[in-house]
Amino acid sequence: MKHPLHTLRAGLIGTGFIGPVHIEALKRLGVQVTAVCGSTASARACADKWGIPEVYGDYDYKAMYASPNVDVVHITSPNKAHVEQSLDALAAGKHVVCEKPLGMTSKETAKVVASAAKKGAPVFSVNYVCRFIPAILQMRAMVARGDLGRIIHVQGHFFQDWLLKETDYNWRVLASEGGKLRAIGDIGTHWIDAVSFILGAKADRIFAHMETFHKTRRRPKGEVQTFAKIDPKTMVPYKVDTEDFGSVLLRFGKAGHGFADGVHANASVSQVSAGWKCSMAIGVYGTEASARWTLDDANTIVVGRRDEPNQILQRGTPGFSEDIAGFTDYPGGHAEGFNDAHKMQYRAVYQHIASGRKTEPLFATAADGHHEVRLCEAVLESSRKKTWVSI
Amino acid sequence: MKHPLHTLRAGLIGTGFIGPVHIEALKRLGVQVTAVCGSTASARACADKWGIPEVYGDYDYKAMYASPNVDVVHITSPNKAHVEQSLDALAAGKHVVCEKPLGMTSKETAKVVASAAKKGAPVFSVNYVCRFIPAILQMRAMVARGDLGRIIHVQGHFFQDWLLKETDYNWRVLASEGGKLRAIGDIGTHWIDAVSFILGAKADRIFAHMETFHKTRRRPKGEVQTFAKIDPKTMVPYKVDTEDFGSVLLRFGKAGHGFADGVHANASVSQVSAGWKCSMAIGVYGTEASARWTLDDANTIVVGRRDEPNQILQRGTPGFSEDIAGFTDYPGGHAEGFNDAHKMQYRAVYQHIASGRKTEPLFATAADGHHEVRLCEAVLESSRKKTWVSI
Amino acid sequence: MKHPLHTLRAGLIGTGFIGPVHIEALKRLGVQVTAVCGSTASARACADKWGIPEVYGDYDYKAMYASPNVDVVHITSPNKAHVEQSLDALAAGKHVVCEKPLGMTSKETAKVVASAAKKGAPVFSVNYVCRFIPAILQMRAMVARGDLGRIIHVQGHFFQDWLLKETDYNWRVLASEGGKLRAIGDIGTHWIDAVSFILGAKADRIFAHMETFHKTRRRPKGEVQTFAKIDPKTMVPYKVDTEDFGSVLLRFGKAGHGFADGVHANASVSQVSAGWKCSMAIGVYGTEASARWTLDDANTIVVGRRDEPNQILQRGTPGFSEDIAGFTDYPGGHAEGFNDAHKMQYRAVYQHIASGRKTEPLFATAADGHHEVRLCEAVLESSRKKTWVSI
Amino acid sequence: MKHPLHTLRAGLIGTGFIGPVHIEALKRLGVQVTAVCGSTASARACADKWGIPEVYGDYDYKAMYASPNVDVVHITSPNKAHVEQSLDALAAGKHVVCEKPLGMTSKETAKVVASAAKKGAPVFSVNYVCRFIPAILQMRAMVARGDLGRIIHVQGHFFQDWLLKETDYNWRVLASEGGKLRAIGDIGTHWIDAVSFILGAKADRIFAHMETFHKTRRRPKGEVQTFAKIDPKTMVPYKVDTEDFGSVLLRFGKAGHGFADGVHANASVSQVSAGWKCSMAIGVYGTEASARWTLDDANTIVVGRRDEPNQILQRGTPGFSEDIAGFTDYPGGHAEGFNDAHKMQYRAVYQHIASGRKTEPLFATAADGHHEVRLCEAVLESSRKKTWVSI
């Protein structure tokens, strides 16, 4: 008898930086990757590398959706294509793993929520992958069990430097391509979603301050890959309509377990922080203990206590593993990294599908993805009005 | 010929936690500590321990001010006594080192500014000691030289846990004793002053959010020392009128050197962060490089760069020492700590006095102390109005 | 045209802890995993999970060697089976990836060296996977380029705690199963091979001290998996004939590049170090700079300099990537971990095969594996004689 | 009534780098520093700076010994003067704090032991200051209480880089001035003494390997201060007769408490480790837990446990302070550093004196100092003979 996950077959749209990350994670799980869609050349190359039988060039994702050999669609195309491809996938009866953000506006993402909520609709997930870093799952379990007591406040940041220079370019810099928010939309939402997941509560009020340090940037004429290097000589100036960095204060609503009601959070987000490639930090401070975690040292959590020594929780060792059984594979000291988190996320989604929705949907749903988009709109409104805004 | 600092004579008011820190630092510098004032018993004990010749009991600081053997007065009494004791000291022709905050309201601290600004007035300093941690001096030098480029934003926090429990008590919890702000007033101002010192600019706009998590606390009936332990059985409930934690967003004004104009800063401040005794962190992010520092690892700075490896600057080694010559005494690897920062601060003040004000007043002046009090008032106003407030 | 690595087909012997690690890494590379051999039940389960077409139960690896659909054999069986399975694989014309150690005695591993050295023999590699942690590759490049100057000494450790308690059991504890050396054989050789790889030189003299702290241990009656938990009640005492920990001093011979001749190294190795699951540290100290690395923070190297600030090299950022192009896939800040190192190792082996041996064999060869076994024998001899021993 | 420590009066020989460290630490304790001896100019300058009443120029320490105003003599002169000055001090009835090493040979240090052991002899201490870093005291308490179980092994290092370059010079490089061992004698003995103190046992067997990487160095013609910079142009070559680095394996004898009998230790020691100014690390591994500490982060200990999370012990917080009451002054988060350890050491010595030897002599005695010299001789013998040597 085949392993349940091996019976499921994935088709992928998009072959840029993140697409292959999905493919490798799926292959690790034993999921069959049966189709790939993208530009004709890159889809072909991708198929040749991983032995993917069906190739859909010219970005013809609808043809792929018609394939009887695809059960789950992974959407890793640019942001502005997400909603349409999601709606079409649902309509075609395909389960969906959609890269974040779910869409460009809450108006359009609401449609995905509605479609995914229909009776008999396929499973829909949005790729807020930080949820499946075992330490994040662990902090969520600790909060839910009351290990940290009542949560008082949360603080942290997400800092990158890949857009530090005025000559740094990516389609995400353009509001028309990536959405009106950039730093907060691209990485800030990872932080907010992860904190929301940890607390078991959703943000309901926001105060934000955003700044565009480089009001004019220079860009290459053609299109470029994420993280690719560009020759400055070919560049033309353009006005920047997305923020370089921002501060976001949030109030979270009620959590079902009663340990995290009305929590205040403070996040700094920046894509112009020299030297810090992916510096993400979350600190959750409760009446009994605190939990601090950084992405730089993703396999551990530091638990702070007032009247006892602080503790270092290590993934794969006692105090850690029982809460996250099934979402970490290697013993302590054998680091899990970026690809492993993707693997765990897809395991959650595919187990949910394979079980007939019997498992808890730990992954971000369409509603979660929609909430993040609404939240970004509130950030924009707050930053403009300079007041707190309710979501 | 005596060393200039040895010719200066200090008198101290207050013998609690911080008083002896001053005494030890002064003794290390060769300054003569000639008088001490406090409760009769503790002033006597203090004098006996360190061989201080003149003892003023019954908190009779005015008698000490009359002594011809005191050149500099160190005010380490509770906050609400600072202004009166400062004004009297200036009137008595004594130089002053006053513990922060300078006073309870900007109305009263303005008087100290006026008095200290008079022609021929003694030297006046406020004890924002973080300035004299060598790494802070070093970051200031780096900003002023343009090593970090133009500063884009600043982020950090100051977290403690000594008031985590509802039974934790100290006079600072009472607005009437410590001032209307507590977490932000007590430790947040250290962060803000240090950042202001690093940038060479003053905060001119503030947005703040504050919360009192323990709206009711319990306290002992009598008076207690900072950091002392208390028996819960003797406690009575009281309503708390100061904040447990807060988020402060700041905009700094122009810096003379042109490298830090209009900088946004985000600080989280808390006295209810389990496990973190004095977790202070500052990150300064510029167009050329960033500088990150934490009090936990106070002898180093991590410099972040986009296109080159990050660097670890160590106090007492190349790239560090030239900028702070005179404010660090021990070679690299021989850690300087809490007392050393006090030593360096008093060295700055006493050298300024001994030189006839020829040295740069790196220490916080009465104007700086006054600014911090105004800033606290703006924090309070912003938190109530939920809007940005100008200072 | 298929990607060269996708044209290669792997067959795996052994389905314990490390076997699936191989499978996942191979799948990430696009290599076809076509066969699996082990106990009938576990080989079947493994095949079902990852869709492996050919299954060889009853540990019938010879049947698998007869398959025309297997180009490369991965040997992940217990240590004592390695040599026979290797020799048979070579005889069957299969390329080999053999888990370390290559064998139980240098007498038998010499046969593998001889067989692999024959004209037209398949490619043979031993799985010293630490070589393919990008930071290790990077340190090797730095030494070879002379970035660290002439190497003076090397120091470090490899500490685990999974055999701390006298009730901890694994077949590796028995000399008859795992070899006469345990801590040093199992993890110490990882350290020594990695250092040898970094220096580009082989150890030629050894002084060792070893101790068996638990002279008697208790074990379960049946067989158990690595890292599995055991019920103490079922246990029987037995005399331990392998070491719990040891100190190894080494002298390395000449390196071709002239920057690392006659280097002294000091390694501590222990499997009874409470709290440390896989604490591996290497420091390489040269006349111009030093390089420190730990497995806990595997994506960075700290470079020490006498007269300039120390540096933090991050994988995937400038100063790191050019030297290891092709052996890291994710940008800085996106951590690579345990599985990624395996992936990079197999990439090196399979590229070597696919290119017709045109690429540099960075992986450990049969000769390297044989050297490690001889080195273990020298460790044993030195520890008994209490003198330096030449290899 | 004067504080007992204030009634004691110190006289100091030597005004180089370490002399002022003693003076400042003594002043912090309230001890009266009444006399200083050195070159006429520097003794005068020293007296002027700290208001020391009696000055003995021309290194006329015997005149100082004749002063009725000196109770305790601090010997901070070069190594080769220690024994004679110690013997004379004891003969003059002065208590002694002697910088390490106690002397150049065990033959001469045996005389000090004999003299200090006489009935009615003054108190004698050797300045192994690492004992009084609170974390070291704490680890000692943990071992003695059995918190770590039976100790299995100890590992660590002490690395500096101030003698990395062939042009780096200090009198310690010359065997005739500093003793036949340099790296191990100067800093290695700090490590060994600290470990011995932690274990409560003395090393009884040694195996050592030492190397002089720079067999020829160049030096300035005149004399120079420790840590001073020198102009390379004035330098002349000389043959080096002391080691640059070494590895030392030790077996410790029995501890009174039964938790540390026959412990193996491995220490790497180097003064040519680029970038590391004072990198000292000690790991103590027991059957119940391990304790790791580094001088870079001197205020904390990491406790490792097999089946529970690791812990971070912070000085000045629960689990730390009770064991070391009286040897730390500042609360958690307020770092104690280099000078504070000296302060605590002298507090221990002076309290011992003031109490009439009633307190436990935690400081290193003449016998301890003598043992370290014998141990250095064993290191030399072992390195030459390449065998284990008993002490």
For residue B391, name the pLDDT band (cuts at 50, 70, 90).
Answer: very high
Number of C-beta neighbours around residue A47 at 10 A: 24
- What does each C-alpha distance from C240 to A73, A390, C170, C174, C233 come to in angstroms? 55, 67, 12, 7, 19
Most B-contacting residue of A153, A205, A379 (CB-CB within 10 A), to test interface: A153
**Low-confidence stretches of chain A (pLDDT beneath 70):** 1, 222-230, 321
Supply the pLDDT for residue B325.
Answer: 81
**Minimum CA–CA partner of C308 in chain B:** B318
State the Cα–Cα distance between residues A270 and A268, nearest whole angstrom: 7
- C231 in contact with B, Cβ within 8 Å: no
Beta strands in chain A (DSSP E): 9-13, 32-37, 54-56, 72-75, 95-98, 124-126, 151-159, 203-211, 216-219, 236-239, 245-252, 264-270, 279-286, 290-294, 300-304, 310-314, 389-390
Structure tokens at B231: 């028996």
Supply the pLDDT for residue D373.
Answer: 97
State the Cα–Cα distance between residues A324 and A374, nearest whole angstrom: 30
Residue A329 pairs with which residues in a beta bridge? none
Give the one of B311, B317, B320 whose C-beta lies nearest to C311's C-beta: B311
- C383 in contact with D, Cβ within 8 Å: no
Most C-contacting residue of A55, A302, A320, A330 (CB-CB within 10 A), to test interface: A330
Within chain C, residue ranges assigned H as helices are: 18-29, 40-50, 61-65, 82-91, 106-117, 134-145, 175-178, 183, 189-199, 338-354, 366-385
Question: D283 contacts in C (CB within 8 Å)?
Answer: 159, 273
State the Cα–Cα distance between residues C6 and A51, nearest whole angstrom: 7
Supply the pLDDT for residue D337.
Answer: 97
DSSP type of residue A240: -
Structure tokens at C276: 């440390």
For residue B1, name the pLDDT band (cuts at 50, 70, 90).
Answer: low
Chains in contact with D, where contact means 3 or more Cβ–Cβ distances below 8 Å, are: A, B, C
What number is the average pLDDT over the span B139-147?
96
pLDDT higher than 90, residue B223: no
* Inter-residue contact A88 to A65 (CB < 8 Å): yes
**Minimum CA–CA partner of B155 in chain A:** A268
Question: What residues contact residue C209 under an 8 Å CB cut-off, 6+ apart?
Answer: C246, C247, C383, C386, D207, D249, D264
Residues B269-309: tens digit of each pLDDT: 999 999 999 999 999 999 999 999 999 999 999 999 999 99
- A275 in contact with D, Cβ within 8 Å: no
State the Cα–Cα distance between residues C329 and C299, nearest whole angstrom: 12
Q: Per-residue confidence of chain C (391 residues) as pLDDT tens digits? A: 678 999 999 999 999 999 999 999 999 999 999 999 999 999 999 999 999 999 999 999 999 999 999 999 999 999 999 999 999 999 999 999 999 999 999 999 999 999 999 999 999 999 999 999 999 999 999 999 999 999 999 999 999 999 999 999 888 999 998 889 999 999 999 999 999 999 999 999 999 999 999 999 998 876 666 656 667 777 899 999 999 999 999 999 999 999 999 999 999 999 999 999 999 999 999 999 999 999 999 999 999 999 999 999 999 998 786 778 899 999 999 999 999 999 999 999 999 999 999 999 999 999 999 999 999 999 999 999 999 999 9
Supply the pLDDT for residue A229.
Answer: 66
- C312 in contact with B, Cβ within 8 Å: yes
Structure tokens at C112: 């593998």
- B51 in contact with A, Cβ within 8 Å: no
State the Cα–Cα distance between residues C268 and C247, nearest whole angstrom: 5
Question: B297 contacts in D (CB within 8 Å)?
Answer: 296-297
- D319 in contact with A, Cβ within 8 Å: yes
Supply the pLDDT for residue D168.
Answer: 92
- C311 in contact with B, Cβ within 8 Å: yes
Question: A211 contacts in B (CB within 8 Å)?
Answer: 153, 264
Could you tell me what percent of chain B has a pLDDT over 90? Answer: 91
Most C-contacting residue of A49, A294, A321 (CB-CB within 10 A), to test interface: A49
* Inter-residue contact C213 to C245 (CB < 8 Å): yes
Q: Do A305 and B164 touch (CB under 8 A)?
A: no
pLDDT higher than 90, residue D224: no
Residues D333-370: tens digit of each pLDDT: 999 999 999 999 999 999 999 999 999 999 999 999 99
Residues A256-302: tens digit of each pLDDT: 999 999 999 999 999 999 999 999 999 999 999 999 999 999 999 99
Nearest to B79 by CA among B220, B180, B157, B159: B180
- What does each C-alpha distance from B24 to A342, B12, D280 come to in angstroms? 56, 12, 28
Burial of A55 (0-12, 13-18, 19+ CB in 10 A): middle
Residue C390 pairs with which residues in a beta bridge? C205
Question: D53 contacts in B (CB within 8 Å)?
Answer: none
ipTM of the complex: 0.95
pLDDT higher than 80, residue D319: no
**Minimum CA–CA partner of D159 in chain B:** B333
Nearest to A369 by CA among A62, A133, A127, A68: A127
Burial of B120 (0-12, 13-18, 19+ CB in 10 A): exposed
Strand order in the sheet with C9-13: C54-56, C32-37, C9-13, C72-75, C95-98, C124-126
Q: Do D264 and C249 touch (CB under 8 A)?
A: no
- Phi, psi at residue A375, to the nearest 5°? -60, -40
Min Cα–Cα distance to chain C from A360, Å: 22
b/e map A278-304, b = 16+ CB within 10 Å: bbbbbbbbbbbbbbbbbbbbbbbbbbb
C279-286 vs C151-159, strand pairing mode: antiparallel
Q: What is the 3-state secondary structure (H, E, C) of A107-175?
A: HHHHHHHHHHHCCCCCCEEECCHHHHCHHHHHHHHHHHHCCCCCEEEEEEEEECCCCCCCCCCCHHHCH
- B310 in contact with C, Cβ within 8 Å: yes
Give the one of A307, A311, A317 whose C-beta lies nearest to D311's C-beta: A311
Burial of B197 (0-12, 13-18, 19+ CB in 10 A): buried
State the Cα–Cα distance between residues B30 and B351, nearest whole angstrom: 12
Q: Do D289 and C274 touch (CB under 8 A)?
A: yes
Min Cα–Cα distance to chain A from C28, Å: 5
State the Cα–Cα distance between residues D136 and D133, nearest whole angstrom: 5
For residue D231, name the pLDDT band (cuts at 50, 70, 90).
Answer: confident
Q: Do D303 and A318 touch (CB under 8 A)?
A: no
- B53 in contact with D, Cβ within 8 Å: no
Question: C188 contacts in D (CB within 8 Å)?
Answer: none
DSSP type of residue C364: B
Supply the pLDDT for residue C2.
Answer: 79
Q: Do C268 and D153 touch (CB under 8 A)?
A: yes
Supply the pLDDT for residue C220.
Answer: 83
* Inter-residue contact A314 to A320 (CB < 8 Å): yes
Within chain B, residue ranges assigned H as helices are: 18-29, 40-50, 61-65, 82-91, 106-117, 134-145, 175-178, 183, 189-199, 338-354, 366-385
What number is the average pLDDT over the span D138-155?
97
Min Cα–Cα distance to chain A from B283, Å: 9
State the Cα–Cα distance between residues B45 and B51, nearest whole angstrom: 10
- C287 in contact with D, Cβ within 8 Å: yes
DSSP type of residue B359: S
State the Cα–Cα distance between residues C261 and C255, nearest whole angstrom: 6
Supply the pLDDT for residue A324.
Answer: 86
